[in-house]
Each structure stands twice: as C-alpha cells, then as structure tokens.
C-alpha cells in the first residue's frame, strides 16, 4: 500500500448556525480545505453524517454535497456510524488513496442539529443506541453514560471532582480555539454545581448540540511535496476499526470500551508503535466519563487510573499526555457527523505547528479516537510528522 498524507484542512466556527443549511456548512469547510491544499479538483469524496434525514430532512447527501461543492461527476458517498461517521470517512478515504485507486480524496463530515426541537434532537441521537431495548425503555445517552460513570466510580473510586476536571481542562483548551462553540473557561465549582442531567452527570459534564462541518484532503505521501510547500509531511501510519455490542446491558463490563481497545491495538500494530509513543491525542469526550475510560482503553493509563490522571493534570496541555488540545467535544462542540474529521484537523495542525496559542512543543506523533453511541463502534487513527 502507498503511504497517505494530509495536505489540506478546512473547518468553520461551530455553534448554533441558524442562517446556514447543511450544504452551506459543508461547502464552506470543503472550499477552505481545497484552498488550503491548493487543489482544483478531487477524485472522490467520503462524507460522514449521522442523521441528515432526521436533523435536516435531507437524504441522498452525497449527491447534494457534490453538486453544491461543484465537483460532479466525482464519485461521492455518505457514510454513517453514528458519532464516528467522519472517522469512518477518513478510513475509507485513506484506503482509497493507499490502494492506488485515487490520488486526491476529500474526506469530511457535517451535521446540522439545531433546526429541530430539543425533543427531536434527543430522538435522533437516541437512534444511535439500541432502539428496541434502550430507546424503547426511555434510556437516552446521558443515562447510558451516567450508568458507565456510576459503575466506574463504584469500582475504581473515580470521583465527581475527577469527572469535572476533564471539563475544566477541555474548556481551558477550547478557550484558545477560535473555531470552538464554547471558547471559554469554566471553574471546578461551576462544573460541579451545574444542573443535574443524569446522576452523577451534570450539564457541564456533557457535550452540546452543534452545527458544523470539517474537511480534510488526502493524497499519496510521495506527492505531498507538490501541495505542502513549507509544511512538514503528516502521514497516516495507523488505522484501526472495531465494533462492540450496541446495547450497554449486553457488555461484559460497562466500565470498559472493548471496541476502543481493539481498534487502538490494530492502529498501534499497523504503525509499529505503542501507547507510550503517542505524544498527544484527540479523543471522544461526549461526556467527561468517556474521556476517562477512553484514555484507559487506549493504554495511556491503567484501568481505573484515568480519573486520577485527569486530576493530576497528566492530560492537560502541559502534562505528560495532552488530550483534547482542541477543547474536545465538550468545548469545541459535537456536530456528530463532523467530529471525527475535526479531530484529524487538530492532530494535523499540531503536527504542522499551526495550532496557535494551544500549540504543543514539537509533537511528532498524534492519535485520534472517535466512537459511535456508547462505544458500539470505534475508529483510531495515528498520524506522524515526517
């Protein structure tokens, strides 16, 4: 297989973007990415979107977005695996370039979530769980992650302060991200005293509803010099994908994310590295407990030690293992179909040295982990500066 490099990225400020449609959001980010890469055409594109039908009453998204971007008759496909949809788009685009089938491939994601009521948004998101069992019995994602949090607290002694410190850290990072939906700091007291959503999770333990898009351009690594100019090459060295039971009640251990563990191992093995070789990571923090369990499943910390690590500051920008320098889903926002591509953008910008005030000192290797639902599907990508 050919090595694959990232040559351009595009994203807009995320938030409640009332005056823009789903096609507007995508075209804005895609145009930025193509301009950033210096390309005037693409061979194909893969777009992640969880539920354009329920959120925006628009299906056949591949045709709509290729049309409005002005790239027809390029091949285009919409892919879906809940919140990990654009991470799957990344994997498929990487595979297409690596295989030699195409040279210039656009991957990305988009979601327009705020044009429906809160009740309708909750219904749409709940469709990423087991609708016949979890949904039928009234369990929403805050409830599912609350059960995971309570089990983790009971087994390992994880505390409310540790859950809250994840939010404090991610908002501190997001305050330095001009594209973030909520670019402001929060205090530990504000998080712990925010409105209860599903015990023990409070409002500031939860990611928001968001409109936004994110797009990345890929090409063969041996052609990257044609586009990157003075930028270093950022190469995809590992890609892992795995699934688990969709329903939480079917899992052996709800304090663990088996699909994340397996996807990470596949990515590590492909890249020829281990957890200790990763300089920083963007991970799925739809709820703060998710970041804690993910960092354990990735092998960054032992089981039960993700909470203490967050409390010690290990995952802060200045820590030994920075996590979610972008602000994560918690502060940057979570337009579910676009989240995975945005993680790739943050990792790439850090490796290019273009992350602004949140730039890490000389990172070489970054990881992006994104999952659907309560962990029923997970993708992990490892990117390296050359």
Active site residues: 83, 334
* C-alpha to C-alpha distance for 340 and 375, rounded to whole angstroms: 14
Q: What is the largest CA-CA distance in the chain?
A: 56
* C-alpha to C-alpha distance for 139 and 65, rounded to whole angstroms: 34
| Strand order across the 365-372 sheet | 75-79, 44-48, 105-112, 211-220, 4-11, 234-243, 377-385, 365-372, 280-282
* C-alpha to C-alpha distance for 324 and 285, rounded to whole angstroms: 9
Residue 334: helix, strand or coil by DSSP? coil
Tokens of 264: 């990470």
* C-alpha to C-alpha distance for 291 and 163, rounded to whole angstroms: 9
Cis peptide bond prior to 73, omega within 30° of 0: yes
Tokens of 281: 């990571």
* C-alpha to C-alpha distance for 324 and 309, rounded to whole angstroms: 14
């Amino acid at each position: 297989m050919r090595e694959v490099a990232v040559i351009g990225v595009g994203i807009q400020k995320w938030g409640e973007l009332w005056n823009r449609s789903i096609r507007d959001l995508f075209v804005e980010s895609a145009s930025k990415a193509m301009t950033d890469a210096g390309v005037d055409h693409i061979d194909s594109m893969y777009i992640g979107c969880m539920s354009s039908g329920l959120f925006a009453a628009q299906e056949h998204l591949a045709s709509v977005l290729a049309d409005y971007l002005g790239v027809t008759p390029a091949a285009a496909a919409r892919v879906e695996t809940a919140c990990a949809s654009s991470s799957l788009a990344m994997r498929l685009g990487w595979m297409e370039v690596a295989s030699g089938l195409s040279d210039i491939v656009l991957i990305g994601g988009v979601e327009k979530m705020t044009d429906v009521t809160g009740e309708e948004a909750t219904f749409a998101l709940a469709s990423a769980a087991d609708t016949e069992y979890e949904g039928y019995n009234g369990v929403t994602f805050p409830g599912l992650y609350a059960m995971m949090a309570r089990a983790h607290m009971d087994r390992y002694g994880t505390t409310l302060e540790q859950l809250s410190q994840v939010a404090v850290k991610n908002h501190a990072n997001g305050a330095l991200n001009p594209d973030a939906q909520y670019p402001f700091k929060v205090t530990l007291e504000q998080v712990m005293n925010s409105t209860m959503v599903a015990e023990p999770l409070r409002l500031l333990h939860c990611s928001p509803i968001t409109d936004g898009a994110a797009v990345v351009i890929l090409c063969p690594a041996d052609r990257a010099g044609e586009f990157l100019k003075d930028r270093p090459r950022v190469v995809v060295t590992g890609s892992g994908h795995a699934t688990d039971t969709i329903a939480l009640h079917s899992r052996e251990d709800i304090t663990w994310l088996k699909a994340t563990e397996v996807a990470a191992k596949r990515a590590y093995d492909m890249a020829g590295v281990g957890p200790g070789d990763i300089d920083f990571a963007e991970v799925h923090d739809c709820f703060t407990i998710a970041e804690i369990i993910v960092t354990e499943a990735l092998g960054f910390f032992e089981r039960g030690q993700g909470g203490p690590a967050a409390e010690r500051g290990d995952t802060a920008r200045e820590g030994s293992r920075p996590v979610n320098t972008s602000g994560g889903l918690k502060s940057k926002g979570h337009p579910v179909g676009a989240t995975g591509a945005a993680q790739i953008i943050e990792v790439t910008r850090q490796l290019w040295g273009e992350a602004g005030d949140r730039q890490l000192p000389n990172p070489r290797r970054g990881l992006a982990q994104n999952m659907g639902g309560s962990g029923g599907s997970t993708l992990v990508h490892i990117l390296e500066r050359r």
